[in-house]
Each structure stands twice: as C-alpha cells, then as structure tokens.
Structure 1
Amino acid sequence: MGKGNAHIVVLDPYAYELAFQRDLVRASFAVLEDGEGKYGAQFLATRRGGFTSYFDEWTKENTIDEAALALAQFADKKPCWSDEISASGYVVPLGYLNENQILTRPPAFVEGHPTVVRSLYASGICDFGATYIDARKFPSLEDEFPDLVEQVIVVWQVPAIIPYNVLAFSTTMPPEMRNLFASQIPAILQTEAGKAAFKTVYDIEEIEPVNDGYYEEFRIYVDESGVDLTTLVK
C-alpha cells in the first residue's frame, strides 16, 4: 500500500494501526463477527491463590470500573500469556498493566488461550493470565476439569476494545472517490452477488461504518504495552 498499489484493503488490527501511524490508510468500515466490531479480554487467576474477583459471574459485568484497583494484586506475580501476538491474551492486557504501573515477574508464553487456563488450574506455572472471553468454557477444558469455572476465576474483564478486521482506504485515494466507494459498499453487500464477492475476496459478511476514532482505545493500550508493532504484523 505504501507504494500506491492498493486502494481498498482489509487489514488485521495491528496492520491497520501500523499503516495508520504511517499515514497510509483511513478506516472506513469495521468488519463484524456475530454482529460485533470489537471484543474484550479477561484477567484470570485461581480462587486458591487468594485473589479477589471484581467481576460478577451472574451479570457478566465488572463490579468496579477502575482497572488499577482490580489489577494491583498482580504486582510481583507471574503471568501466563497466550502468545506474543495475541491481542486478548497478551498485548492489550499488558497495556492495562503498564498503564497502571503494575510490574510483574517475567512471563510464561504457553501457546494458546486454553493452555493459559489449564496452566492456572494446574498451578505452579503462573499466578494469573489473560484470555479471550470465556476461554474457560473451551469444550475440552470443561470435559477435563468439571470444576474449572469455580476454581479459575475472572478477576476483571477488559471491555470490548479489541477490533476485528478493518476495511480501509488508502490515503492516496482522492477524498471524493473514497466517499463514493464508502457510500456504495453497503449497497453492494445487500445483493447476493455482492455478498458472495466480498466473502470470496475479503472474507467479509457484515460491516459497520466507522472512522479512525473507533480504534482509539485499542490504539492506546497497544501503545501502552510497549510491544513493537512491526513484530505483530504477519
């Protein structure tokens, strides 16, 4: 895109953010998954570890909004992260910890959200972890550990700030052309042929009009994580 070879692109969140920082793209549509443009994450720990939960399992809501209070108990504790590029299992949760100046012990990268949960349940590997919502209910985990949800608790839930893919336009595209395409794409998706084409070319079934501000919270916590964006782009 930097060479002007593409004008309409679908990017994963990291690639979009890197391109946005380089003034190469402007977001036009959020790609939706099950009707949602963003998803959250959750900090997990074990009940036997003595951690306090600030999440209500019945209402599925945090009992406090202040992340600092909920996450302070992780100071000098060892995290289990999913992998080094996972938004919900590493980058965004790390951003929350760093923003609140919570220093932890060196982490363990255990390769997979279910593995984070399993590592916590087994104990001895780490004190807390982060996953997508709700990795504890991964089928094989529920079968293997019937009391898992009781023993591995949600300490605090990260709000839905992590985007799915982004349909963006190149900044080299004239504004009037960008506006024309932006107005036509939703109509195209209303036709059977258009749906099929977007599914084939972009793997898109549903979109929502947005602008770059839609991604601001994600942008903040990726930046707070301190992770080099160039290492996150596939």
Structure 2
Amino acid sequence: MIEKRTQKTSFLLIFALFLVLLSACGTPQETPVATCQPTEAPTSTPTRTPWPSPTPTPTSTPTPRPPGAEDMPFKMGVVLSPIDQNALTASGVLSQYLFEQTGLAFQVEYYERYEDLLHDLGDYSLHAAWLPPLTYVYAQQEELAEVNLLVNNYGTYAIGVQFLAPKSSGVQVSFNAEKNINTANAATALRQFQGKTPCWVSRTSASGYVVPAAILEQNSIPVQPGAMLQSHSAVIRALYAGGICDFGATFSISGDPRTAPDLLAEHPDILEEIPIIWRSDPIIPNLNLSYHPYIQDDLRSMINVALFNFISSPEGQQTLTNTLQYNVQDLKWVEDDLYQPLTELLEILGDDIASFIGG
C-alpha cells in the first residue's frame, strides 16, 4: 500500500515537472519571457557610405627647356633641295652672327621635304622655320608654328595672281595694263572661262593653282580639269602655242613671268598676244619666319632684332639670301591675321590643307 502511494506520488511529481517545462516552452498571451527556439534576426543589406570622389590633382604642362645651349642649340629649319655648298657656308655665317648677338648657340637645319621639317617642329627638335604660305597655314592650324617675320622678295611682301588667255581666242580683257588696274570685278571678268580648260602650274602652287582655282570657285565659275605644267613659264608657252588650254594663271605683283628673258627672246610679241585678263590683290604672303609656340616672346624678340641688324647691310641680305636660296631684300614684323584672306580661299576650295604642304 505504501509502495503504491509512493509510486503515485512520484508519478505526480514527474507530471507536474513536465507541465512546468511545457508552460515554459509555450508563448504566453502577455509579454513573452523566453522562447525555446531562437528567432532569426531579420537580415538587412548594410548601407554603404560612398567614398568621396578624389579631387583630381591639377597637372601642369612642364615647360620645355629653352634652346640655345651648346648641347641643345636653337635650330632654325630651311627646306632646300638639293642642298648646295653656298647655302651651307652662308648658314654658318648666319649662325655665328646670331650667337654673337644673343649668346645662344644656333644651327640652321636643312631638309629636303617640308613633311620632315613639320615632323621635327611637332616634337620640338626644331624651334623655328622659314615657311611658304600654304605650308604655314597648315602648320598654324596644327599649332606647330606662329609667324613673326615676313620676307621682302624682289620689292614686295606678298604676291597676287593673274589670269591670262590668248588674244586670238577673242577674250574680253578686264585689266588696264597702262594704269595697272582692273576694269571689272572677278565675277564679271572671269565668267567667260566657265566650262573652259585651264593651264595650272602645280597643286602646291599658291599663285599657279590654289588661289586662282579658289577665286573661280568663289565666283561660281566651274571649269574643266586643268593641265599641270610645273612652271609659270610653261603656262605662258602653252597659251602662246595653243591647243592645250584656254586660259591660265601665274604669279603677279612681284613680277610677270611673261617678261622672262628667254620668253621674250622666243616670242617678242608675247605681252601683246597673251594679255592679262584680270589680276588679284597681293593676297599671298612671301616666305616667313615662324617660331614653335613654346618659344617665349622675349627669345623671339632677341632673335628678330638680331636678324633685322644682320640684313641692314647688303652683305647680310646676300648671306640670308644664300642661306634660304630665296631673295631677301628686307624683313618686317607681321601677325597671323595677314593670312586670313588666304585661309578663307583655302576653305572655299574645300581640299585638305595637308595636300598643299610645300606651297
């Protein structure tokens, strides 16, 4: 009896303990105290605070070393082909004079092609160059050169173009040779060449092709493809002979190729038989001295003054003439706006300016 009671009591204790544990695992209706299974914490994507963008450190273009030391002489470029001994001797005299006047080492660098000269301007192994007009326009647009001095060649600083045609073709002349003036504008004077065949000098000749072709284009005067004859005197001879072209164009203002001694000897009546039909203003600048943009103004001025002093004597003029193989009678300061009329005509023509390098 006692054993049964004991068993019963033990059973009740175990059952009560079970109820206590069960109540602990349950979720009370009121404020929870504990849970048996842990509640998984909600996950959230952490908010990233973006790193501030770094402020770019200002970079400065390093100032190139000024030329003029013995190990880095100031190099002045000239295109000459072939290069003759007279030019080399004269360039040595010029370099020595510039050294004496400025205290800087100088060297005249000769090239056979303007493309090579422009390449060296581009990498700053050349510091200045003597450039013809079309080549300068290209170099200036490419930021390779800035004009400073212009050469007086046979008494003029710039040349024009003249249109010529055989008198026997019945052309209307719009130029008064005695008064040296046009009697009509370009559109009126040149309209008679519409559909005709021209004789040109070469594609890189400013006065023998580029400017006259642009003037025709400017005035809406289409012509046939022309013959490229390689020289101004050849254009005159072709017009005199006939059968090759209807009209032609050559340089003017600084001279007249019709008056070349050999042409006059061959054809004494050439001035009468091949008259000037119309002539432009002097819009094609002569050879110039241009500096690389890195060359500072004070250095340019020092060199320019030395060159002015050098050509103040006939001996200096002749030495510079021999150095360049280009007649030099004087120099003058000029600015880039001098080339604006020529640049506008090149734009009218519409061809790639790089194709005129050399002119």
TM-score (norm 1): 0.88
Residues 131-184 of structure 1: CA deviation (Å, up to 9, x unaligned): 123222222222222322222111101211112111111111234433444455
Q: How does 1:1-234 map to 2 (within 5 A)?
A: 1-64=121-184, 66-133=185-252, 134-190=256-312, 198-199=320-321, 201-202=323-324, 204=328, 206-234=330-358
Identity of aligned residues (%): 33
Distance in 1 of aligned mates of 2:271 and 2:128: 43
- 1:33-86 Cα distance to aligned partner (Å, 9 max, x none): 12311111210012221211110011122123x211111111111111122221
Q: CA separation of 1:146/1:16 partners in 2, compared to 1, >3 Å: closer, same or farther?
A: same
- Which structure dedicates a bigger proportion of its chain to strand? 1
CA–CA separation in structure 2 for the residues paired with 1:208 and 1:110: 33
Mean Cα deviation higher: 158-167 or 169-178: 169-178
TM-aligned CA deviation for residue 16 of structure 1: 1.1
| Structure 1, 184-193 or 107-116: larger mean CA deviation | 184-193
The whole-number CA distance in structure 1 between the counterparts of 2:269 and 2:276 is 14
Matched AA of 1:221: L
The answer to whether the Cα contact below 8 Å between 2:258 and 2:270 also exists between their aligned partners in 1 is: yes
Per-residue CA deviation, residues 94-140 of structure 1 (Å, 9 max, x unaligned), is: 11011111100121112221221121122221111101232222222
Quick check: 2:146–2:291 contact (8 Å CA) kept in 1?
Answer: yes
Deviates more, 1:209-218 or 1:189-198: 189-198
- Asked whether the 8 Å contact 2:232–2:250 carries over to 1, the reply is yes
CA apart distance, 1:218: 2.0
Please say if residues 98 and 225 of structure 1, whose CA atoms lie closer than 8 Å, have aligned partners that are also in contact: yes
Question: Which deviates further from its counterpart, 190-199 or 163-172?
Answer: 190-199
Alpha carbons of 1:98 and 1:172: their partners in 2 closer, same or farther (altered >3 Å)? same
Unaligned ranges ≥5, structure 1? none
State the 1:190 CA deviation. 3.5
CA contact (8 A) 1:91 1:227 kept: no
Native 8 Å contact 1:198 1:205 kept in 2: no
- Deviating runs (4+, > 6 A) in structure 1? 191-194
Change (3 A) 1:24 1:124: same
CA distance in 1 between counterparts of 2:271 and 2:323 reads 40
Which segment drifts farther, 24-33 or 196-205? 196-205
Quote how far apart the aligned CAs of 1:193 are: 8.4
The one-letter code matched in structure 2 to 1:231 is S
Whichever residue aligns with residue 107 of structure 1, its letter is G
Structure with the greater alpha carbon radius of gyration: 2
Corresponding pairs, count: 233
Higher mean displacement: 214-223 or 188-197:
188-197
Give the Cα–Cα distance (whole angstroms) in 2 for the partners of residues 193 and 101 of structure 1: 49
Q: Secondary structure at the match of 1:4?
A: coil
Q: Aligned partners of 1:119 and 1:27: how far apart in 2?
A: 37
RMSD: 2.3
TM-score by length of 2: 0.60
